[in-house]
Chain A
Amino acid sequence: KQEVTQIPAALSVPEGENLVLNCSFTDSAIYNLQWFRQDPGKGLTSLLLIQSSQREQTSGRLNASLDKSSGRSTLYIAASQPGDSATYLCAVTGSGGAQKLVFGQGTRLTINP
């Protein structure tokens, strides 16, 4: 059974800092990994998707890496801004069958002005 863990559960940093969020998964047989952002009480916004054959994806100030063999992914946020404050979730899709996402519990990020 696939399990996804995110560390830390919460993080508070001053504006302008670069930061890294961590995600680990127990079964390396994944199809892809996605990072999502969730604002309080809202739905999920997809930030980056990494296929199992890829090592990283970049979008603006965000960079996500994937090391499938070690079961780890990181989300790097450069030059953080107060608007980046949200909960960040990672999720993996298994390599067979339905396109089912298995989520971690998320990291609640606060960027202080």
Chain B
Amino acid sequence: ETGVTQSPTHLIKTRGQQVTLRCSSQSGHNTVSWYQQALGQGPQFIFQYYREEENGRGNFPPRFSGLQFPNYSSELNVNALELDDSALYLCASSLPGQGASTDTQYFGPGTRLTVL
């Protein structure tokens, strides 16, 4: 049990729709990252938020956006859904810069998004 929760567990959408995925980070962790994992692949970095500001972004288009809130929860929003957006979306929280024991990123169980 990592203390990171995500909702919903599963979601089915159609092409062109918009979706919001939610993550509740481990208490006190001020950094949250989002990853996309296609079937049979390793996770791909989407972006990271640190103290409510975007702090790095992977190779994803602007229709992928995020928010981080003061209570350490966060959202991933995807507009104009495409079939290739079907994947497991993972969030991970951490407290970087405090030493080896806190460099570990703690992952949530993920949200399985299917786009039809």
Q: Which residues of A contact B (CB under 8 A)?
A: 4, 31-32, 34, 36, 41-46, 49, 51, 89, 91, 93, 97-106
Contact = CB atoms under 8 A, between A and B. Distances in A.
Interface of B: 2, 4, 6, 31, 33, 35, 40-45, 48, 50, 55-56, 58, 88, 90, 92, 94, 96, 100, 103-110, 112
The listed residue with most A CB atoms (<10 A of its CB), out of B6, B45, B94, is B45
Given A44-B90, A51-B100, A101-B33, 8 more contacts: A32-B103, A43-B90, A45-B2, A46-B106, A98-B56, A101-B45, A103-B42, A105-B42
B55 to A, nearest CB: 5
Nearest to B101: A49
29 contacts: A31-B103, A41-B88, A41-B112, A42-B109, A43-B2, A43-B4, A43-B6, A43-B90, A43-B108, A43-B109, A45-B2, A46-B105, A46-B107, A49-B103, A89-B42, A98-B48, A98-B50, A98-B55, A99-B31, A99-B33, A99-B94, A100-B33, A100-B58, A101-B35, A101-B45, A101-B92, A103-B44, A105-B40, A105-B42
Given A43-B90, A100-B56, A49 B43 contact: no
A75 to B, nearest CB: 15
Nearest to B46: A100
A55 B61 CA distance: 38
B50 to A, nearest CB: 8
B42 A49 contact: no
A42 B19 CA distance: 20
B110 A49 contact: no
A104 B44 CA distance: 10
A46 B104 contact: yes
Contacts of B56: 97-98, 100
A93 B100 CA distance: 13
The residue among B33, B44, B103 with the most chain A CB atoms within 10 A of its own CB is B103
Contacts of A45: 2, 107
